[in-house]
Amino acid sequence: MTGANSGIGYEVARYLCEGGNDVILACRNQDKGEDAVRRIRNELPNSLVAYMQLDLSSTSSVRTFVKEFTHKKRKLNVLVNNAAVKPDNRDLTRRITCEGNEHTMSTNHLGPLLLTHLLLEYMRQTANVMGDGRIVNVSCSAHDHENSWASKKSGVSNAR
């Protein structure tokens, strides 16, 4: 589960752990990811939860994560792409990743797409043995023109 150290991601991860599932919290920030694991274990001492570092804005981080995950021979029944960043309305400075991509686009779209693509065959192998596999992509209304920071900045609105 990406972006599982806070918000909806944390709550879904905790819920999955409560159901006895083996859950990986794939988070960019190690301290926050490990803290989320501690909070889940405090509440659910027998939970099967672990942290792995993953920065979706970096293709090299995504590739390293997939390599380490598949090397551990863990089962992959469900991939939840939840992590996202939101542009700051007050600072419209364009942020570029070290790989030359726009940061928000990399984190919210390119990273999850690459992660899914690289794990898809591995997930199919698990599904052949376990009988099922799911990919869940979490979204928000930020892409909706009416709710976007750009439309609020420009004053443009779609009446419905």
Query: The domain spanning residue 32 has which CATH number?
Result: 3.40.50.720
Q: Kindly tell me the sign of the dihedral angle through the C-alpha atoms of 116, 109, 53, 51.
A: negative
Task: Please indicate, yes or no, if residue 71 is contained in any of the structural domains.
Answer: yes
- Look at residue 146 in the predicted model and tell me its pLDDT: 57
- Look at residue 86 in the predicted model and tell me its pLDDT: 82
Task: Please indicate, yes or no, if residue 109 is contained in any of the structural domains.
Answer: yes
Task: Please indicate, yes or no, if residue 157 is contained in any of the structural domains.
Answer: no
Distance (Å, rounded) from C-alpha 56 to C-alpha 138? Answer: 14
- Look at residue 90 in the predicted model and tell me its pLDDT: 80
Domain that holds residue 132: 7-86+94-140
Task: Please indicate, yes or no, if residue 40 is contained in any of the structural domains.
Answer: yes
DSSP 8-state symbol, 19: T
Ranges assigned E (strand) in the chain: 22-27, 48-53, 78-81, 134-137
CA-to-CA separations, 4 to 93, 96, 100, 102, 154, in angstroms, rounded: 27, 24, 26, 23, 33
Question: How many domains does the structure of the chain reveal?
Answer: 1
- Look at residue 111 in the predicted model and tell me its pLDDT: 96
Residues of the chain with pLDDT under 70: 141-160
- Look at residue 28 in the predicted model and tell me its pLDDT: 96
- Look at residue 152 in the predicted model and tell me its pLDDT: 54
Task: Please indicate, yes or no, if residue 150 is contained in any of the structural domains.
Answer: no
- Look at residue 147 in the predicted model and tell me its pLDDT: 54
Q: What percent of the chain has pLDDT over 70?
A: 88
CB 158 within 8 A of CB 145: yes
